[in-house]
Chains A and B, each alone.
Chain A
Amino acid sequence: MRMTEETVPEALDADAQLMLRFKAGDTEAFDQLFSKHTRAMINFAYRFVRDRQVAEELAQEIFLRVYEAASGYRVQSRFTTWLYRIATNVCLNEVRKPRFRAAHQPLSGQQAQDPGPVSGRSQNGGPQRLLERQAISRALKEALDRIPEKQRVAFILNKYEELSYAEVAGIMKISEKAVKSLIHRGKETLAQRLRPLMPELLDQ
C-alpha cells in the first residue's frame, strides 16, 4: 500500500515522509533513508567507540531498530531527532557495557594527557610548531573519549552532526539551556586537556 498525499502532510520533512511511506509498506523508502544516513550513523557511532568495525555494527543495529520501529512510527518531531535518539541509545548502551569499558580503560595521570611526541618550542618558536597538528588532534580525540557522557553526547550532536540546540535538546530530552551548558562544559574540559601541552598560551 502506498501512502497518499492526504496522509503525508506537505509540511513534513522529507525524511519523515519517507518513513511514513515505509510504514505504509514502501520498502524503497527505507532504502532511501538507509542510503542517506548510513555515513552519518557510522561516523556518529565511531565518535563513541573509536573502532571502525564496532561503529559499523552499531550503525547496522540503529537501522535495524528503525526498521522494526516503523509500525509504531509517529511524526512528533523531525526524523533526524528520532533517528539520533535511537542512535544515541544504541551507542551509549555499547559504551556502558562492562566488556567495552574494560577494553577502553582510561590511562592514568600524565599518560592520559600525553598526545605523543611533539616538537619543542625552544627549538622552533611558535605554538604551531610546538605541537604538531596530529598531536593536538590525537589529544583532543582522547579527551573527547573521556569527558562525561552527557557532555560528550551534546558536543558530538551539536559540533559534529551540526544539529541545533533545539534538536539536541529534543534528542537528549533536556532543555536548550542545559544543552548549551553541557556543550560549554564539554569544550572547557577538552581545552583543559590541551592546556598542559600549550602552556605558553593564555586562554581567551
Chain B
Amino acid sequence: MNCSEAQELMGLLINGELSGERARDVRNHFASCDACAAGLTPLQWAEVLPAMDDRLEPSADFVLRFREKLEARREPWWKKLIAWGWPRQVAAAGALATLVLAGIFVIRYPRAPQDPAAYVGDIAVMEKLPFLEDMAVVSNLDLLEDFDTIENLPRLIKEADKN
C-alpha cells in the first residue's frame, strides 16, 4: 500500500467503514511510515494503536502446560486427593471423621419429641384439670389456697357435725 492510498483510506478507517485485511494494511502503513505518521492526529493515532502494540507468540511449553492442566481437571477425585500431600489429607480425613461421627450420633440418639404444653408451664397443666370445669370450684378458687382451713378440715367437719 502506498502513502496516498493509505491517506485516502484513513478517513474510512476513522469512520469505522473499513475492516479486515484492508484496515490492517492501513494501520500497518501508518505504523511504519514516518512521513505519513507525521500528520496523524491523536484520534488517528488511537486508530493505529493495534498495529503498534506487542504481538505475542505462545511460549515453547504452552501446549504442554495446557495438557497438564487438562489432565489435572479430568483425573478422578481420589487421584487429586493423593496429590494433596499429607497435611491437607489429615485435615480432610479429620473433617470427614467428625461429620460421620456427628451423623451416627444424630441417627442413634434422636431428640425425643417434646410435649408442646411443657413449654407453657403450670398454666397449661392447670387448664387440663377437669375440676376447673365445675363452676362451684372456679368461683371458690380462693378457698383452695386457704391452706390453714384445708389442713384443719377434718377437725372443722367434726365440730360442724357435733353442732
Residues of A within 8 A of B (CB): 34, 38-39, 42-43, 46-47, 52, 55-56, 59-60, 63-64, 67-68, 126-128, 133, 136-137, 140-141, 144, 159-160, 162, 164-165, 180, 183, 186-188, 190-195, 198, 201-204
Q: Dominant SS at the A interface?
A: helix
**Contact status A194-B42, CB under 8 Å:** yes
Collect the chain B residues with CB atoms within 8 Å of residue A55's CB. 56
Collect the chain B residues with CB atoms within 8 Å of residue A137's CB. 49, 52-53
B49 to chain A, nearest CB (A): 5
**Contact status A180-B69, CB under 8 Å:** no
Collect the chain A residues with CB atoms within 8 Å of residue B56's CB. 39, 42-43, 46, 52, 55
Contact size range, B: 20 to 34
Q: A162-B19, A162-B24 are in contact. Are A203 and B43 (CB under 8 A)?
A: yes
Collect the chain B residues with CB atoms within 8 Å of residue A43's CB. 55-56
**Contact status B62-A56, CB under 8 Å:** yes
Q: Dominant SS at the B interface?
A: helix
Q: A55-B56, A133-B52 are in contact. Are A194 and B66 (CB under 8 A)?
A: no
Closest to A46 in B: B56
Interface centre among B19, B50, B73 (most CB of A within 10 A): B50
Interface centre among A159, A183, A187, A203 (most CB of B within 10 A): A159
B34 to chain A, nearest CB (A): 5
Q: A188-B43, A194-B46, A203-B42 are in contact. Are A56 and B69 (CB under 8 A)?
A: no
Collect the chain A residues with CB atoms within 8 Å of residue B54's CB. 46
Please report the C-alpha to C-alpha distance between residue A159 and residue B37 in the assembled complex, in whole angstroms: 18
Please report the C-alpha to C-alpha distance between residue A96 and residue B24 in the assembled complex, in whole angstroms: 31
**Contact status B45-A194, CB under 8 Å:** yes
Residues of B within 8 A of A (CB): 16, 19-20, 23-24, 31, 34, 37-39, 41-47, 49-50, 52-59, 62-63, 65-66, 69-70, 73
Give the contacting residue for A38; candidates B20, B37, B53, B62; CB below 8 A. B62
Collect the chain B residues with CB atoms within 8 Å of residue A59's CB. 58, 62
Closest to A180 in B: B16
Q: Which 6 A-B pairs have the closest CB atoms?
A: A191-B42, A194-B42, A128-B38, A190-B46, A137-B52, A191-B43
B8 to chain A, nearest CB (A): 15
Give the contacting residue for B37; candidates A47, A133, A188, A191; CB below 8 A. A133
Collect the chain A residues with CB atoms within 8 Å of residue B38's CB. 126-128
Closest to A191 in B: B42
**Contact status A201-B58, CB under 8 Å:** no
Closest to A125 in B: B38
- Beyond A137-B49, A187-B43, A203-B41, list 11 extra A-B contacts (CB 8 Å): A34-B66, A56-B62, A60-B66, A64-B70, A67-B70, A127-B39, A128-B34, A162-B24, A190-B45, A195-B42, A202-B41
B40 to chain A, nearest CB (A): 8
